[in-house]
Amino acid sequence: MNVKFLGAARQVTGSSYLLESSGRRVLVDHGMFQERAVEWRNWRNAPAEARSVDAVILTHAHLDHCGLLPKLVREGFRGPIFATAPTIDLAEIVLEDSAEIQQEDVEFKRKRHQRDGRTSPHPYDTLYGPEDVRRTIERMRPVRYGESVEVAPGFEARFSEAGHILGSAVVQVRARHDGSERTIAFSGDLGQWNLPIVGDPTLIGEADAVIMESTYGDRDHERTVDIETQLAEIVRETVRGGGNVVIPTFAIERAQEVLLHLSENLLGGRMPGVPVFLDSPMAIDATEVFLRHPAFMDERARATIASGRLQAAARWVRLCRTREQSRSINDHRGPCIILAGSGMCTAGRIKHHLVRNLGRPESAIVFVGYQASGTLGREILEGRPEVRIHGRMHDVRAQVRAILGLSAHAGRSDLLRWLRGFSRPPKRLFLTHGEESVSLAFAERVREELHWDVVVPEYLEEREVTA
């Protein structure tokens, strides 16, 4: 069996691996490149001719893992896409959103060029449209955790809990050829142990080769006080002062985690009963998907849902799907909590809430996720006295807080813990899905601690999997 690294090689996004054995081709993930410097790769032709790919295995619904699948379908892929049921439902939300954003970007660019009297050397085109997304979702086949499925002749895949987002999977792929057999374990994106909602990452017994993400291969997440307590404290203080709590949040997983923590706090009487506005159609859709798939949650979350406690907390939660509902938050008198996207404040409704709250010393902006450098979120978090939103400068007088420890990604210790779960070293470990310096540093760490053969592959590098 051969593996070709089509993305997430010495950078983070664009996860995609092409497996070939006995003339059959299987893709594991086919994600979008999101770092500016490598975005052009999204426009390259499919890795192998799209028609020649027999099947796709999808580890989870994040855009950097599924974002180019509709393009593959547009280019002629006609095989099945295997994923868990929550991954299929979440991928539909993520891909529809992506098609919409691409269309908006193209329109925006066309108008700007028109205004400036320029013409673009490139056609005003999107990678794919809503119709390609629909045809992609139609190709998806649900797989359960623990189940082995034949994805293509000679290829078998087994999905298990990865603990990253709902439905995320670690996948073991087995390829048979001329009486011999090779196995590769794909970590997908690994979560931390003891995250709310999802279970813990599954340890894999053995494999000939392992392909693992290394996003946080150089550090561990800080977690001093538990998250629910941190949230309760901030809300109590802010409400006492008469301000609003504004939480920029990612629509999938983080929004549901924060909602769960807020619900527990409200029901436990640890914070005052103020309205919680969920101002994000995408997060509302994702929350509905979560509630449809309790079987993919950990025991505690399942019990919370079964007990009816969440329904009891729902009386504080106001869902804002339409623009009118979103604007109506401005009419609310008295303190409230506002969850809105995007998670790094780069777009979306959160910007309006920031405009209204940044200048108020009694309000709090609470970060619950990673803020990449260059984003508005990062500027606020770093303590800039003023920031630009919608072309205007705004003073930052609100409290700026960050809740530590919330990450859907395994930290360095978690990554090592997952590797130690193998009963014998694989022939080779490939580290992907990390900034180059981070993956290289983690490779060194694994060599020192476990004495494994570790490779950090290059973009488009090809390797044979040996036994």
67 vs 14: CA distance, rounded Å: 8
For residue 71, the minimal CB distance to Zn ion (Å) is: 19
**Nearest residue to 164 (alpha-carbon basis) of 68, 90, 248:** 90
Check: CB of residue 414 under 8 Å from CB of residue 190.
Answer: yes
User: Which helix (H) or strand (E) segment is 138 a member of?
Assistant: helix 130-138
For residue 403, the minimal CB distance to Zn ion (Å) is: 20
Residues 6+ apart with CB under 8 A from 69: 30, 56, 58, 81, 91, 95, 136
For residue 31, the minimal CB distance to Zn ion (Å) is: 9
In the complex, the residues that contact Zn ion under the rule CB under 5 A are 62, 189
For residue 15, the minimal CB distance to Zn ion (Å) is: 8
Residues 302, 306, 309, 312, Cα dihedral to 10°: 130
Closest to Zn ion by CB, 283 vs 354, is 283
Closest to Zn ion by CB, 189 vs 257, is 189
For residue 92, the minimal CB distance to Zn ion (Å) is: 16
**Nearest residue to 427 (alpha-carbon basis) of 178, 158, 185, 213:** 185
123 vs 343: CA distance, rounded Å: 30
Closest to Zn ion by CB, 204 vs 410, is 410
Residues 350, 354, 355, 361, Cα dihedral to 10°: 160
For residue 334, the minimal CB distance to Zn ion (Å) is: 37
Closest to Zn ion by CB, 2 vs 34, is 34
Q: For 384, list phi and psi in degrees, rounded to 5.
A: -60, 140
DSSP structure class, residue 28 = E
Closest to Zn ion by CB, 9 vs 336, is 9
Closest to Zn ion by CB, 20 vs 189, is 189
